[in-house]
Structure 1
Amino acid sequence: MSDKQEKATAYWKENLKYLIILLVIWFVVSFGCGILFREELNEIRLGGFKLGFWFAQQGSIYVFVVLIFVYVRLMNKLDKKYGFDE
C-alpha cells in the first residue's frame, strides 16, 4: 500500500468519525430534546415558550447550522493535517 493510499484511508476514517459524532449530536438534540425529553424541558421557559417546544420548532435547526460550521472547521483542519488543502 502506498503512502498516498494510507493517508487517504486515515483521512477517510477520521472524516467518518467526525460525521458520526456530529450526527449523533444532531440526533440527540432534534429527536431527544424535541420528542423524548420534551416533558422535562417544558418545565423551563425560553422567551416565553416552553423549552421542549422551542427545541422541536427552532432549536434543532440552530444546532444543525452550528454543526455545519463545526464540520467545515474540522474538515479544514483535517485537510491541512493530511496535506489535502489547497
Structure 2
Amino acid sequence: MITKMSIILMVWLSVGFIVSLKFIYIDKKFNSNFFEKARNRINASKEDEVFAIVFNLFTKSKMTFIAAITLLGIIPMILDLLATFKKQER
C-alpha cells in the first residue's frame, strides 16, 4: 500500500515538475507580458483579493513558480492540453 502511494506521489510530482519546466523554458510563458496581462485581469475584477495575493506570491521568481506547479502535479498538464485542443479547433 505504501509503495503504491509513494509511486503515485513520485509520478504526480514528476509530471508537475516537467510541466513547470515546459511552461518556463519551452513555452516561454514565464515573462513579464504574460503576467502583466493576468495581473491586470485580476486587478480589474477586484472580487478575489486572496487570489491576487497568491498570484503575486507565486509569480515573483521562477523557483516559487516551479514549486507551485510541481505541487499541482497533473492538473496544469490537463489544463495545458485542453487549451491546446481549443486553439486547434479555431
Same fold (TM > 0.5): no
Q: Which has the higher contact order (CA 8 A, sep 6+)?
A: 2
State TM-score, norm by structure 2.
Answer: 0.38
Higher strand share: 1
State TM-score, norm by structure 1.
Answer: 0.40
**Which is greater in Rg?**
1
